[in-house]
């Protein structure tokens, strides 16, 4: 069973460009979470999605950031008009729906390291 997959692993963008980060959850998982890790910091929750639904986006910056988890395909975290302060590692995690033995346990991907020049 493949783990959580994220791509690209490294992404370099110039200020003002768009960044698109992709996350494929573990097979059978229907919940996806995005976190941001700034240097020397812990992970900060950004958004929690289920298929075709945003459940909690209270950790997302109000502007330029959006996330989706379509019926088919990976979850996408999109950052428009990137600025240097967006440089960070972005991690995706997935968990199964309620009822399974690992309910509420999250499995993390390797992260995408975004560098904004």
Q: Which stretch binds another protein (CB under 8 A): 17-25, 29-37, 60-68, 70-78?
A: 29-37
As a whole number of angstroms, the distance between CA 32 and CA 30 comes to 7
CB nearer another protein, residue 18 or residue 105? 105
Sheet strands side by side (includes 5-7): 5-7, 19-24, 75-79, 65-68
97-116: which residues touch another protein (CB under 8 A)? 97-98, 103-111
117, 14 Cβ separation under 8 angstroms = yes
Q: Which of 71, 73, 27, 81 is nearest to 50 (CA)?
A: 71
Q: How many residues bind another protein (CB under 8 A)?
A: 27
Q: Which of 102, 59, 99 is nearest to 77 (CA)?
A: 59
> With left for phi above 0 and alpha for psi between -120 and 50, is residue 104 left, alpha or beta?
left
49-68: which residues touch another protein (CB under 8 A)? 56, 59
Q: Smallest distance, Å, CB 56 to another protein?
A: 7
Q: Does 74 bind another protein (CB under 8 A)?
A: no
In the list 11, 35, 36, 114, the residue contacting another protein (rule: CB under 8 A) is: 35
Q: Which residues of the shown chain bind another protein in the complex (CB under 8 A)?
A: 4, 6, 31, 33, 35, 41-45, 48, 56, 59, 91, 93, 95, 97-98, 103-111
């Amino acid at each position: 069973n493949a783990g959580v997959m994220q791509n690209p692993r490294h992404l370099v963008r110039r200020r003002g460009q768009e960044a698109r980060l992709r996350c494929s959850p573990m097979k059978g998982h229907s919940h996806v979470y995005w976190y941001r890790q700034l240097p020397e910091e812990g992970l900060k929750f950004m958004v929690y999605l289920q298929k075709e639904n945003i459940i909690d986006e209270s950790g997302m910056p109000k502007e330029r950031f959006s996330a989706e988890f379509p019926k088919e395909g990976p979850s996408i975290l999109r950052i428009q008009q990137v600025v240097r302060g967006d440089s960070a590692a972005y991690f995706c995690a997935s968990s199964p729906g309620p009822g399974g033995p690992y309910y509420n346990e999250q499995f993390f991907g390797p992260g995408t390291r975004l560098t904004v020049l």
